[in-house]
Structure 1
Amino acid sequence: MPVVESRCVVPVDPATAFAVSQTTGDVRLRWDPFIRRQRFLDGAERPAKGVRTFTVHRLGFRMVSEYVSYKPPSNVGMKMTEGSWFFERLGGGWRFSPAEDESGDGRSATLAVWRYNFACRPKWLAPLAERIGGAILQRDIDRRIRGFARGCEDQVVLAAVAAGR
């Protein structure tokens, strides 16, 4: 199964980085270029293992995903349960761990590693589709983690995270 991964170091502690990654609504849209909108399903009001979300991608693709793990401040995982005809399976995990601050001023820092795995359909087309899909998904994930890094320095996002604690 193909895997794409993107990583960055952000100038906040792991708990803050994790909290930024789980923001919702307008705060999420400030940093996340991947989504146009997203909402919890089944009456859920916050993320947790087993919670499902409905997401509309910036290009209009829709999917329902489920949290398969939720362990603040270190990791979160999801899997697509309904979605694009293109993906037979799609899953992802985001990990947050303490890191050396690249600025050298002694602040807290976090290494964020986002990894996705997927399989394409139809099976006869999968070898080619997965190469193409991997390149497209890699570009999207790289763009998304750069947005996340900007969000970890955005005072509006950080204020919303602090207010939610």
Structure 2
Amino acid sequence: MPQVSADVHVPISPDLAFAVSQTTGAVRRRWDPFIREQRFLDGALEPGVGVRTYTRSSFAGPISPSMVSEYVSWRPPTSVGMTMVRGPWFFARFGGGWRFQPDGDGTLAVWKYTYDVRPSWLQRIAHPIGQWLLGREIRKRIDGFAGGCRDEQVLAAARADMARRAGATTQGEGGEVA
């Protein structure tokens, strides 16, 4: 299957870079030019393996394509992966993975999309178009992510999410610290 990828160095720690990548709502839309609308499905409140999300892209305004995807890996602060459950007719398969690793005084973020198109007889033409279009899109997104990693409002929200999640993992039943 074809792949596109992009990487960027950001001047923050891998755990904070990971947290920025998982922001949601208005905070996410501050840095992610791809997202027009995004929400957790099935009553989920947090990301994690098996959690599904609905995403509408900003590609074509209000008629932009949408996708339901599912987290297939969740390994804070090093990586996250998702796969398409339902999406635009032209994708036979679509998945994305983001990795974060220490790099000098910050983090190297590497984002990758893997995809296939349908119908299969169109792949010879559609794959090069997909390489160009998705390559452009992933570069815009990772550039936006880099901007988010310098945006104090985004960083404050990511830090608050990290603190909330850390607090949740130390809480036992009845709200007592474990």
Q: TM bucket by the smaller chain?
A: over 0.9
Range with greater deviation from structure 2 (127-136 or 9-18) = 127-136
- What is residue 152 of structure 1 aligned with on the other side? 149
Distance 2:131 2:90 in 1: 12
Task: After TM superposition, give the deviation of residue 100 of structure 1 in Å.
Answer: 1.5
Aligned counterpart in structure 1 of residue 92 of structure 2, from 88, 91, 95: 88
- What is residue 166 of structure 2 aligned with on the other side? none
- What is residue 171 of structure 2 aligned with on the other side? none
Structure 2: any 5+ residue segments left out of the alignment?
164-178
Task: After TM superposition, give the deviation of residue 30 of structure 1 in Å.
Answer: 0.3
How many residues align? The count is 158
TM norm structure 1: 0.94
User: SS state of the match for residue 114, structure 2?
Assistant: strand
1:129-157 CA deviation, whole Å, 9 max, x = no partner?
A: 01101110000000000000000000000
1:42-72 CA deviation, whole Å, 9 max, x = no partner?
A: 0000100000000000021100000000000
Structure 1: any 5+ residue segments left out of the alignment?
102-108
Task: After TM superposition, give the deviation of residue 120 of structure 1 in Å.
Answer: 0.4
Within the alignment, does 1:8 sit opposite 2:5 as a pair? no
Distance 2:36 2:10 in 1: 24
Aligned counterpart in structure 2 of residue 125 of structure 1, from 106, 122, 127: 122
Distance 2:49 2:155 in 1: 24
TM norm structure 2: 0.88
Task: After TM superposition, give the deviation of residue 163 of structure 1 in Å.
Answer: 1.8
Following superposition, which runs of at least 4 residues in structure 1 exceed 2 angstroms of deviation? none
- What is residue 112 of structure 2 aligned with on the other side? 115
Task: After TM superposition, give the deviation of residue 79 of structure 1 in Å.
Answer: 0.3
- Rg (Cα) greater in structure: 2
Cα RMSD between the aligned structures?
A: 0.6
- What is residue 106 of structure 1 aligned with on the other side? none
- What is residue 167 of structure 2 aligned with on the other side? none
